[in-house]
C-alpha cells in the first residue's frame, strides 16, 4: 500500500490540521489549519505525516512592475504588510519572494483607507508598483486586488463576506479587510 495520497488543491484551501500533519513546501499554516499557498497537487505523506503542494510549474522568475501577484500575508501593520509571493501573473511561484504592501502612500484608494487591510494568514492579490533595489513593492491598485481568502483571527473559523467586512461563521466576530471581488470562503 502506498504511503502517499494525492489530490488537487486550490489556493487557500484547508488541507489538514497541524495536529495531524506537518506543513511542507507549498503550504502555510494559519491557526490550526494547513493550507495550500497556490494551485497544485497536495501530496500527503502518511508515514512522515507531512503535506506538501506541488505546483504544476517550477518558476523562479522575478515579478516585474505591473505584474499581478498573489501571496500569503506574513505580517501586517497599519502602514505595511509583508507578503510571501505564491504566484505571479497566475503562474505559481515557489521562489519565496517577499514583498511589501505599502498602505499609507495609497490612502486615496477606497480599499486602503481602512485601518486593517489584511491579517497574517490571509491570501491576498496585489499589483507590483516597484522592484527598485530588489525590494518588491505592492499596492492594491487594480479593481480585483485585495484579500482572496481569510480566516477568523479570534478562533480560526471560516469567514463569509458581508459588504466590506468578513464575519466568522463559528463565533460571529466581524473584521475589516480590503477584500477582492474574487474573495471566497474556504
Select from 54, 12, 55, 49 the least CA-distant residue to 34: 12
Q: Which is nearer to Zn ion, 24 or 157 (CB)?
A: 157
Select from 19, 120, 6 the least CA-distant residue to 53: 6
Residue 173 makes contact with Zn ion by CB under 5 A: yes
Q: Which is nearer to Zn ion, 59 or 173 (CB)?
A: 173
Residue 101 makes contact with Zn ion by CB under 5 A: no
Q: Shortest approach of Zn ion to residue 158 CB, angstroms?
A: 9
List the grid coordinates of 180.
477582492
Q: What are phi and psi of 92, to 5 degrees?
A: -55, 140
Burial of 42 (0-12, 13-18, 19+ CB in 10 A): buried
Out of 168, 178, 179, 186, which residue is the one contacting Zn ion (CB under 5 A)?
A: 168
Looking from the CA of 28 toward its CB, the CA atoms found within 13 Å total 24
Q: What share of the chain is helix, strand, coil (3-state, %, to 5)?
A: 5, 45, 50
Residue 62 makes contact with Zn ion by CB under 5 A: no
Q: Shortest approach of Zn ion to residue 74 CB, angstroms?
A: 21
Q: Which is nearer to Zn ion, 154 or 162 (CB)?
A: 154
Out of 6, 20, 74, 170, which residue is the one contacting Zn ion (CB under 5 A)?
A: 170
CA-CA-CA-CA torsion for 55, 59, 61, 66, nearest 10 degrees? -30
Which range in 48-56, 89-97, 130-138, 144-152 contacts Zn ion by CB under 5 A? 144-152
Q: What is the DSSP letter of 49?
A: T
Q: Shortest approach of Zn ion to residue 113 CB, angstroms?
A: 25
Out of 61, 135, 154, 174, which residue is the one contacting Zn ion (CB under 5 A)?
A: 154
Q: What is the DSSP letter of 110?
A: G
Name which of residues 39 to 58 contact Zn ion (CB under 5 A).
none
Residue 152 makes contact with Zn ion by CB under 5 A: yes
Q: Which is nearer to Zn ion, 120 or 157 (CB)?
A: 157
Chain residues binding Zn ion by CB under 5 A are: 152, 154-155, 157, 168, 170-171, 173
Amino acid at each position: 500500500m502506498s504511503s502517499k495520497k494525492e489530490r488537487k488543491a486550490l489556493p487557500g484551501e484547508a488541507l489538514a490540521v497541524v495536529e495531524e500533519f506537518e506543513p511542507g513546501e507549498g503550504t502555510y499554516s494559519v491557526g490550526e489549519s494547513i493550507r495550500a499557498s497556490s494551485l497544485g497537487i497536495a501530496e500527503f505523506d502518511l508515514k512522515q505525516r507531512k503535506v506538501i503542494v506541488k505546483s504544476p510549474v517550477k518558476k523562479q522568475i522575478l515579478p516585474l512592475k505591473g505584474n499581478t501577484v498573489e501571496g500569503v500575508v506574513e505580517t501586517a501593520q497599519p502602514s505595511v504588510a509583508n507578503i510571501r509571493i505564491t504566484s505571479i501573473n497566475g503562474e505559481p511561484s515557489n521562489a519565496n519572494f517577499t514583498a511589501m504592501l505599502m498602505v499609507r502612500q495609497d490612502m486615496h484608494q477606497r480599499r486602503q483607507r481602512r485601518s486593517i487591510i489584511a491579517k497574517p494568514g490571509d491570501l491576498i492579490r496585489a499589483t507590483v508598483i516597484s522592484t527598485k533595489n530588489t525590494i518588491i513593492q505592492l499596492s492594491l491598485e487594480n479593481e480585483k486586488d485585495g484579500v482572496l481568502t481569510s480566516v477568523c483571527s479570534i478562533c480560526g473559523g471560516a469567514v463569509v463576506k458581508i459588504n466590506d467586512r468578513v464575519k466568522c461563521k463559528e463565533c460571529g466576530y466581524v473584521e475589516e479587510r480590503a477584500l477582492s471581488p474574487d474573495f471566497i470562503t474556504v
